[in-house]
Amino acid sequence: MSVQKFAVLWEGQPDTRVIDLIEQSIVLTILSPVKLLNASKGTLVVVHDSKLVGENNRLFCLAWEKLAAGVMYDEWTVLFVKDTGAAPGLAGGRIFGQFARGILDSNETGIVEFTPDMFLFKDDWAPENINGPPPSEEPEAELQRIEHAPGLFDEDADSWRESTTGSKPVL
């Protein structure tokens, strides 16, 4: 089981058109090579896995160009960058140049193995949170204390018997 991790760089307020493109790319199954997206001033930068080559790379680029050309209220040009080629001097906007390389270097992006550590509420599923705290360290000592308490339950049983039958127990 795998999951895709990618980053989106926003400049100012989040642009919901990028979210729309992401949703469309999921439907078209062209999101998997993407590692980072950034839309800035009419340009969409798509950083993708450098393993994408040949005919698959050409089809990937054509699909993203078509998506970007149909963005609402605008038409974006697309700049494709391999994940190994994203560098601070690269065109794509100030935010992209400043942060892209650091994001790619310090985060695991792309298709990664899905692990239980990725669950949002993973700590809620820890055994102690499901079954309660572990039993006391010395369960035998607790058991001996109860066993050596003479008449601990006898009086309670006698009181119960008296209240239900109206007579005292016969010894």
Express each pLDDT in 126-140 by its tens digit. Answer: 777 777 766 665 556
Q: What span, in angstroms and rounded, lies between the C-alpha atoms of 55 and 59?
A: 6
Express each pLDDT in 51-102 by its tens digit. Answer: 989 999 999 999 999 999 988 888 889 999 998 887 765 555 677 888 888 8
pLDDT above 60: residue 149: no
The pLDDT value given to residue 145:
59
- Phi, psi values for residue 68, rounded to 5°: -65, -30
State whether the Cα torsion 95-96-101-105 is positive or negative.
Answer: positive
pTM value is 0.65
Mean pLDDT of the chain: 80
144 in helix, strand or coil?
helix
